[in-house]
Structure 1
Amino acid sequence: MNPPRPPPREKTPSKIKKVFIKTTKSTTNEEKLQAGETEAMELLNVSTTSDLSQHSELVSGILPLITRNIINGITLQLPAMIGQCLTDNYDLSDNSDILTQLTPNIGEILNDLNQSMRDIRSELTEIKESRAFHTRLYDDLAKKNKFLEKQASDNKKTIESLLDRIHDLEEDLFYVSEKVEDQERRGRLENLESHGVPISENENTDQIVCNIAKMVGVEIQASDISTSHRMPTGIEKTRTPAITAKFVHRKNKIKIFEKRKLLRSVKSSTDFKHPSKIFIAENLTAINKDLYFRARSAKNNCGYRYTWTSNGKVFVKKNSDVKNSLYIRCEEDLSKIK
């Protein structure tokens, strides 16, 4: 009896190839395992119809394929299995012991990291506090600066107002000073000063003034003099103080003042030892007296010939040909003497 004829060899590889192609098209781990199992079952079904020699040959071809598929499946599913096992059996919230066992130095590393994080948090806190402090400081400075700017603006307005007021007061003071000066000048129009008169014991200044007037040809009595006295010596104590006389009538003062130059020609007198050293001048105010001396100094420097006073006013003139004389009323007028 002839044994049954085995199926053709070429069909088995075609089936294996077909199954292999099918398994390679699977995209998941389960599909790969199922494909491997299907391939093995088909090969086993084929082997049941063959003889022992053919079965051994088929088994030798199936084992590598099954081994490869099992290894691939286990390799692909191993991470998920390990993760699931750790999830089911360990509390990962406190994993210091496990990590210490896995890595001996990880505890020290974690301690260093924790200390570094604490230092960083502390520094960040200090930075935040410093920033908050500087922010408050900046806000305070901004408020103060704004206040100071407003105050400076108000002060500027106040200063401008005060400067305007000062300017107005200076103008008022100038006019008032001029009026006071003019009134003082007018109050001295009846006065004359006699300089170079020696001091004598128990002297009568009224009689001395009458004697000086007599030398220039003006006859007056003591009753024509309102008051007379020696002027204070002031700083120049070496000079003989002058005699100031206030006349009752201005016309007597004018007569004596107009003839004052005659004293230069008087050689002798029963009342005075050196009558030519006596000279008469108007009783000027302090301002006009200063202007008179400064005008005389400027006159000598600028070639002017004449400087005089009239009714308490100061005048200068360059020469006798000049018709208009220069009236010196204030310090600015001195610059006109050129």
Structure 2
Amino acid sequence: MADAGGPLSSTPVPSTDKEIKSQLSEIMETLALLGKQIEKISSVENRLSDLQKSVTYVSEYFENFRKEIKEIQLDTVQLKANNDRLQDQLTVTQRELSNTQEELHDLQQYSRRNNIEIHGIPQRNGEDTNDIVVRVAAAVGVDITPSDIDISHRLPSRQNQTQQRHQTPAIIVKFVRRSVRNSIYYARKNLRGQTPNQIRVGDNNTNNIYINENLTPPMKRLFHQVNERRKQLKWRFIWTSNGKIFTRKDETSEVISVSSAKAVNRIN
């Protein structure tokens, strides 16, 4: 039995300096290892801290990006609404412009309601176009005097693009009364077979004489398109009445009114 005054620890006490140095060396190595482990742990903590900062930065970046995307989406919705509104306004404006153009064209055509064009009469120096009109009217069976004529003159000369030659300019005449104009226009078929020479408006001239309505330039272009289509389909009839264009395959077919270029291709 140990006595009451003896040591409580059972750790052996080094007895020599060599043993002390050995134990101290082991302690130092252990401390060195602990130090390295502490350094590694500190490095890991630093890396974790940097990673946490990176995560925080990325999170903040994406949050800002999400807000920007949200704002862009809101702006896009607003822009689409504005675009739709502008598109609606443009559609209304285009419709109003189209209606205005149609009204303007109708007014231009209406202003020509007393006019006709006489084609096929040779041009001569010092001619009296009023006298020619009176003679043409007589040829279709309508008696008029110069007082029935408001004004008449030759239209500007134009070149035939197909034959590369200048066509004889037509005579345009405006009558004082529409009833006189209509009487002559509706009797124009009586000119068939008659030549300028026969009605004494052209020496030895055998041109065909024909009477047209005085159409506006757009309607003249449309008439040409319809006539080309008629020729392709070998339809027989095309004519105008009160500035409107009509075509017909034959005597028994339906009469078709053509009022726009889009309607030309529907002729079949």
Q: TM-score, normalised by structure 1?
A: 0.59
Are 1:281 and 2:212 matched, yes or no? yes
Q: Which residue of 2 aligns with 1:325?
A: 255
Look up the SS of the partner of 1:103 in the other structure.
Answer: helix
Are 1:297 and 2:221 matched, yes or no? no
The amino acid of 1:326's aligned partner reads I
| 1:236-288 deviation digits (Å, cap 9, x = unpaired) | 57443333221111122223223333434224244324253332211112343
Q: Which residue of 1 aligns with 2:29?
A: 103
| 1:123-155 deviation digits (Å, cap 9, x = unpaired) | 556545544443343233222211221122122
Q: Which residue of 2 aligns with 1:247?
A: 175
Are 1:142 and 2:66 matched, yes or no? yes
Task: Confirm or deny: 8 A CA contact 1:314 1:329 kept in the other structure.
Answer: yes
Q: Which residue of 2 aligns with 1:256?
A: 184
Q: State which of 101, 110, 113 in structure 2 corresponds to 1:186.
A: 110
Distance 1:234 1:130 in 2: 82
Q: State which of 79, 86, 93 in structure 2 corresponds to 1:162.
A: 86
| 1:191-247 deviation digits (Å, cap 9, x = unpaired) | 111233444445544444334334434443433222334434567574433332211
Q: What pairs with 1:193-232 in structure 2 (closer than 5 Å)?
A: 193-201=117-125, 203-232=127-156
Distance 1:228 1:99 in 2: 134
Task: Confirm or deny: 8 A CA contact 2:159 2:166 kept in the other structure.
Answer: no
Shift of 1:332: 4.5
Question: Which protein is richer in helix relative to its size?
Answer: 1
Distance 1:167 1:161 in 2: 10
Between Structure 1 and Structure 2, whose CA radius of gyration is higher?
Answer: 1
Distance 1:284 1:173 in 2: 22
The amino acid of 2:180's aligned partner reads N
Task: Confirm or deny: 8 A CA contact 1:206 1:222 kept in the other structure.
Answer: yes
Distance 2:212 2:51 in 1: 89
Shift of 1:309: 0.9
Distance 2:227 2:79 in 1: 47
Q: State which of 2, 6, 10 in structure 2 corresponds to 1:77.
A: 10
Q: State which of 249, 263, 266 in structure 1 corresponds to 2:194.
A: 266
The 1:100/1:193 distance shift into structure 2, 3 A limit, reads farther
Q: Which residue of 1 aligns with 2:77?
A: 153
The amino acid of 1:103's aligned partner reads E
Look up the SS of the partner of 1:265 in the other structure.
Answer: coil
Distance 2:125 2:57 in 1: 90
Distance 1:196 1:130 in 2: 93
Question: Which protein is richer in strand relative to its size?
Answer: 2
Task: Confirm or deny: 8 A CA contact 2:149 2:173 kept in the other structure.
Answer: yes
Shift of 1:314: 1.2
Shift of 1:100: 9.5
The amino acid of 2:148's aligned partner reads D
Q: State which of 285, 289, 314 in structure 1 corresponds to 2:245.
A: 314
Pairs aligned (count): 251
Distance 1:159 1:233 in 2: 50
Task: Confirm or deny: 8 A CA contact 1:315 1:325 kept in the other structure.
Answer: yes
Task: Confirm or deny: 8 A CA contact 1:189 1:311 kept in the other structure.
Answer: yes
| 1:161-182 deviation digits (Å, cap 9, x = unpaired) | 3333333344434443433333
Q: What pairs with 1:124-135 in structure 2 (closer than 5 Å)?
A: 127-135=51-59
Distance 2:67 2:84 in 1: 26
Structure 2: give runs of 5+ residues left out of the alignment: 15-23
| 1:44-90 deviation digits (Å, cap 9, x = unpaired) | xxxxxxxxxxxxxxxxxxxxxxxxxx9xx98x6318x89xxxxxxxx
Task: Confirm or deny: 8 A CA contact 1:263 1:275 kept in the other structure.
Answer: no
Q: TM-score, normalised by structure 2?
A: 0.71
